[in-house]
């Protein structure tokens, strides 16, 4: 029922009309693709994680007749290489990658769409390059503050105690006071026998908490080696460095983008990125429209969230504005 409702909300499946690999330094090469209308309004999709990578369904939030849809796997994620690579991987470098991709594609301005970590990166990119942004569609707000990071590692146990217990189980009792450091020691090991199970445990923990009603397919996907290494290593890496952001930077710098139209879509029962962050963002940015979806958790594929995201891209298509 949930799956069919989500499928109904999204546009039909599409394939890229072109794709490629973009070398951004001596270590990292990024996968990118374009879908939809080559002459349409450009829109940039920013995936979550960090390290989550792309999936074909992410192309489907946008009317392919209207939008020139640009998607890419961020450093260390998805089909970008090397998978799970955390060296030369910072928010500032990801922002520079976005600008390099925009210049390569000959795009002056684009709508910026991101959920979860994608909302973090969208805000950081927009605040650095507001002149390049036509608008924002943001979902499952994550401001990458120390409080949110602590919530992810420890607070989720109040709602998913059995899932959190599984997350903690591989860590010896004398290391559990600091789960981030304990996992980092394993995730950044050079031994696959050490880092691979740690990555699967970390990623499965997140995948188990995405939906209001747990989705076994999502849990299996997050448990796969192709997803787990990117998610586990890169989330731990970014969390250790507070997202490479100053304290509450994304709220303090909101004035740089307050003139740009935006929609914020938030699940009322989002346990991964609780609604308080969306409310804080909206209070700092009252011009943005906040849509609280009352019967949803975190995932962009919750039926109500998917419908709200498609409605937001549709409203921008019709009006070229959000208000």
Catalytic residues: 116, 270, 298
Size of the chain, expressed as the number of residues it contains:
323
Helix (H) / strand (E) element for 21: namely strand 18-23
**What is the C-alpha separation between 106 and 86, in angstroms, rounded?**
29
Could you give the C-alpha distances from 108 to 23, 41, 103, 157, 263, in angstroms and in order? Answer: 21, 11, 8, 44, 21
Under DSSP, is residue 247 helix (H, G, I), strand (E, B) or coil? coil
**What is the C-alpha separation between 122 and 114, in angstroms, rounded?**
6
- According to DSSP, residue 25 is labeled S
Q: Which two tokens stand for residue 320?
A: 């070229």
* 40 CB neighbour count, 10 Å cutoff: 17
Helix (H) / strand (E) element for 180: namely helix 179-187
């Amino acid at each position: 029922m949930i799956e069919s409702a989500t499928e109904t909300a999204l546009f039909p499946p599409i394939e890229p009309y072109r794709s490629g690999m973009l070398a951004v330094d001596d270590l990292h090469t990024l996968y990118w693709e374009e879908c939809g209308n080559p002459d349409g309004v450009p829109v940039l999709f920013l995936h979550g994680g960090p390290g989550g990578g792309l999936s074909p369904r992410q192309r489907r939030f946008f009317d392919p007749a209207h939008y020139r849809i640009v998607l890419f796997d961020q450093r260390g994620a998805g089909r970008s290489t090397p998978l799970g690579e955390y060296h030369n991987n910072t928010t500032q470098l990801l922002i520079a990658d976005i600008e390099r991709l925009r210049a390569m594609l000959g795009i002056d301005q684009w709508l910026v769409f991101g959920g979860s970590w994608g909302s973090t990166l969208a805000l950081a990119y927009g605040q650095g390059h507001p002149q390049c942004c036509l608008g924002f569609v943001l979902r499952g707000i994550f401001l990458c503050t120390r409080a949110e990071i602590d919530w992810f590692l420890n607070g989720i146990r109040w709602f998913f105690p059995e899932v959190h217990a599984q997350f903690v189980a591989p860590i010896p009792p004398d290391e559990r006071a600091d789960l981030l450091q304990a996992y980092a020691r394993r995730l950044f090991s050079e031994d696959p026998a050490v880092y691979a199970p740690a990555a699967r445990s970390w990623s499965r923990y997140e995948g188990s908490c995405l939906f209001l009603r747990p989705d076994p397919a999502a849990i299996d996907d997050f448990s796969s080696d192709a997803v787990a290494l990117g998610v586990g290593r890169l989330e731990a890496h970014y969390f250790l460095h507070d997202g490479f952001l100053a304290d509450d930077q994304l709220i303090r710098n909101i004035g740089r983008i307050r003139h740009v139209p935006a929609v914020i879509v938030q699940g009322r029962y989002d346990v991964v990125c609780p609604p308080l962050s969306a409310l804080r963002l909206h209070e700092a940015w009252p011009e943005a429209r906040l849509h609280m979806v009352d019967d949803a958790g975190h995932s962009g594929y919750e039926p109500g969230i998917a419908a709200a995201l498609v409605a937001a891209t549709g409203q921008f298509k019709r009006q070229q504005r959000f208000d």
